[in-house]
Structure 1
Amino acid sequence: MVRLRRQLSPARLNWKSEADRLGYHYYQNADGSFAWREDVRYEFDDSALGLLQKVAETLHQLCLEVVDEAVLRPNGLDEFYIPRKVQNVVRDSWLRHDPFLIGRFDLAWCKGQPKLIEYNADTPATLPESTRMQTVWHEQLGKSHAHAPLQAQSLVDYLVSLRQADRISDTIHIVPYPDNIEDITHALYYQQWAKQAGLHAIHCELKDLEITHQGKLLHKGQIVRSMIRMYPWELMFRDSGARHLQDCECTFLNPPWTALLSNKALLPALWKRYPGHPNLLAAGYSLEDVTRARTGPYVEKPIHARGGENVRVLKNGKIICAEVGTYGSYPKIYQEFADHRIDGVTASVGAWIIGERFSGLTMRESHDPIVRHTSPIVPHLIRKKSRLAKIFGW
């Protein structure tokens, strides 16, 4: 039997100081709640891990097929609300096979079957929690059990392979979202991993980027040829500087075509192409697409919402749960509601992809149906090592 369960777990008395030591300083939310908790943990068996690997890699390939179809079909990018002025940027990025770096599927665990909630495949967060916090917790409390953290070494190795294939330059600029402590931390992590890959990694603030007369990106007199950025494509595409993207000759990680993957319009596109797929939830642009053959709750999502903002769970037109936010004016999609509570708590399974390979797990939970930016990440264990060793080559 494929199993995932929630267990009470003793929290380390020094976990906050340990987090600070690891450079993870934003573990407490503004309302006093914690973004990391370890008084509970989730336990997978090895068959669950194998299933999640298969599902994540399969879903990634299905997503790539949707991107290919949208890029090649006339007006296909309109369905993803990609502004006309940058559609060639997205299209050319895909046709050049610009490399995908990293993404995280958020999955609902529905009676042993993972189902796609959304794909964070533009600027995925939770790097410190998914790597060092999980790893140190496991070293101290994991005992004889295994775990599956986000594999930082896999990311380092992948960057090495991209450089060897001349897909990125020796120097890579790391650009966080402005004045955001979480993204500044992500940038520092990426910078360390890039250095481990033998790259010259430069922390670069967005405000310090300039444009040359030839339309190239410039940072302190140096042409920017490769960049890991945390400024989302949906914002960059609508920025006045978007006119320079076509000719700047910078390789972005993740590339412009991932604007389709981090977009909730992906969900109706997947359902239309693969209706009834066991790892998908019904989704569309109208309620009828979701409720035609279903009487249960459904979810309303803006196409560019992040962190659960402006998400509403409804049934028969009545709001069950809702989150405020800044994305209310964006077009909306509707998705079948998945009740993925474990012991009464909504549990989101984060399945990481690096390149095209499954690369670890992150668990997040919420005490209501919406998983938010502030919802806590909690540690996990794998009850057996045999399957884990086969997956990760340990």
Structure 2
Amino acid sequence: MAVEARVADSPHPDPRTRGQHFAEDYRNWRRAYYNRFPSFWGTLPGSKVEEYAVYGALEVPHNHVQALRLASSRLYGIMTRLATLLQQADDQALMDIGIPSPAIPYCHILMPAMPAVMCGRFEFAWTAQGPRLIEFNAETPTFVMELFHMNGQVCIDFGLEDPNPQCQQQLAQAIHTSIQAGLAWLEPPPQSPASVVFSAYAGRKEERGTTEFYRNLLENQGNLPYRTSFQGLDKLRVTRDRLMTVAGDPVDVLYKLYPTEHLIEDMAADGTPVGLALMDLVRRRRLAIINPPIAFILQNKALVALLWALHLAQSEIFSAEEHGWIEQYVLPTYLEALDAQGKPVFNGPYIVKPVYGREGSSITIVDQRRVVEHSELNFYDEQFKVYQQYVTLPTTTLQTEHGQQDVSLVHNCFVTAGQPSAVGVRASRKLIFDDNAYFLPICYPHRENI
């Protein structure tokens, strides 16, 4: 299914005459534009300069945006209920979906007043039948500044209609709501003013930029009843009873753009398991954390396989209407590639991916036992795997710094404190999307009957 990307740039030659000269002009326009935003990573840093943010916009119909938000709202409710049941189940239920054993006590921690996900991102394949769920980035999503800020900036600068108005305010409110719930949950109550720390790797521009974007949104609201700061992960210290900064200030609420599956492996120089010690502070209610422990369960891709298995069994956990939503939105997903009789569960192509994989690593697309595509990076090969039906993604042709490129598209929709929010698109020259996939701004069509 092909869609059209309309370049929203300065006047340019007839597209039919585009060639290398136009690609050079495009590169100059694109870099000059995104260089206006030094806190954003419009061009990827590293050993070679690489295009990330496209100088153009994809027209997305109103009804597609509405469908993405409706799907996200429905799936969030279903998946959060299932994750809550797992939190209250025995340890084996969590182990069966690949939760690492050191994280089991953490996953049982309930913070009922805090939104299960302050900010999370659903990824969808857009099909002829509408959106189909690929996965839910619930605990430490990126692509935040792109959809909550830069997409709107592009639309303003080029006179386009942004599909995400008011989403910044929605996100700021979700951050504040989560912090307030965390402060109320602590025992004993923190001294006033409480301390809220936003943390990530300080030397990684995207991670730090995303984390500071959250903090800046919050600070722009004014009159906060607590103090906020950014602290690099290396500037935090775990003591017996508190999380502290290197300056000796206590931390009451921590937002971490750092995966829990990495945290459980973190050791101090003397061999002390500082990651597990931090998680124990949360268990003892001496530290509140965002996103909360339930988000680590929601991040697990095997949760989708469990959801599909319960649907096939027509579990009474879900209503008849909800079973209809699962059938409509969820791609068949399993914990094994073969059924109980040893027969393949898929007749066509499927994708194999680790339950806590990230950035397109350790993924394989298979068709009739033939490998169609495999990840360039394989950091998560040892993880528990899921097997999901593969569907063909929509495609378009983009003007890039390297000329015109055929790309596949993945549609995204954020949820903030349970509410569907900003929508956007990533584009990739490969079938497996990794860190080098493009950010493709979106807009509503100029002329559309709503």
Partner of 1:351: 413
The 3 A distance-change label for structure 1 pair 354 and 381 is same
1:126 pairs with 2:179: no
Deviation by residue 1:53-90 (Cα, 9 ceiling, x = unmatched): 11011111111122022222222111233233432221
1:252 pairs with 2:289: yes
Partner of 1:225: 252
Letter in 1 for 2:255: I
Letter in 2 for 1:24: F
The answer to whether the 8 A contact 2:80-2:116 is kept is no
Q: Percent identity?
A: 18
**Aligned mates of 1:172, 1:333 — CA distance in 2:** 36
The answer to whether the 8 A contact 2:354-2:381 is kept is yes
**Aligned mates of 1:387, 1:329 — CA distance in 2:** 50
| Gaps in structure 1 of 5+ consecutive residues | 389-394
What aligned pairs does 1:204-215 form with structure 2 within 5 A after superposition? 204-214=231-241
Q: Which has the larger radius of gyration?
A: 2
- Which runs of at least 4 in structure 1 moved beyond 4 Å after TM superposition? 12-15, 29-32, 94-99, 162-170, 289-293, 384-388
Partner of 1:7: 5
The answer to whether the 8 A contact 2:43-2:49 is kept is no
Partner of 1:28: 44
1:172 pairs with 2:196: yes
What secondary structure, in the 3-state scheme, does the structure 1 residue paired with 2:87 have?
Answer: helix
1:236 pairs with 2:270: no
What aligned pairs does 1:163-202 form with structure 2 within 5 A after superposition? 166-167=183-184, 170-177=194-201, 179-197=203-221, 198=224, 199-202=226-229
Partner of 2:336: 286
Partner of 1:392: none
What secondary structure, in the 3-state scheme, does the structure 2 residue paired with 1:306 have?
Answer: coil
**Aligned mates of 1:130, 1:149 — CA distance in 2:** 10
**Aligned mates of 2:30, 2:150 — CA distance in 1:** 9
Instruction: State TM-score, norm by structure 1.
Output: 0.88
Letter in 2 for 1:323: S
Say what the alpha-carbon RMSD is for the aligned residues. Answer: 2.8
Moved more, 199-208 or 162-171: 162-171
The answer to whether the 8 A contact 1:71-1:94 is kept is no
What secondary structure, in the 3-state scheme, does the structure 2 residue paired with 1:349 have?
Answer: strand
The answer to whether the 8 A contact 1:102-1:352 is kept is yes
The answer to whether the 8 A contact 2:87-2:110 is kept is no
**Aligned mates of 1:352, 1:190 — CA distance in 2:** 14
Q: Which of 106, 117, 122 lines up with 2:123 in the alignment?
A: 106
1:16 pairs with 2:16: no
Deviation by residue 1:127-151 (Cα, 9 ceiling, x = unmatched): 22213321121012244x3422682
What secondary structure, in the 3-state scheme, does the structure 1 residue paired with 2:197 have?
Answer: strand
The 3 A distance-change label for structure 1 pair 46 and 342 is same
What secondary structure, in the 3-state scheme, does the structure 1 residue paired with 2:234 have?
Answer: helix
The 3 A distance-change label for structure 1 pair 142 and 259 is same
**Aligned mates of 1:27, 1:118 — CA distance in 2:** 26
| Gaps in structure 2 of 5+ consecutive residues | 11-27, 267-272, 313-325, 397-405
The 3 A distance-change label for structure 1 pair 4 and 200 is farther
What secondary structure, in the 3-state scheme, does the structure 2 residue paired with 1:122 have?
Answer: coil
Moved more, 286-295 or 75-84: 286-295
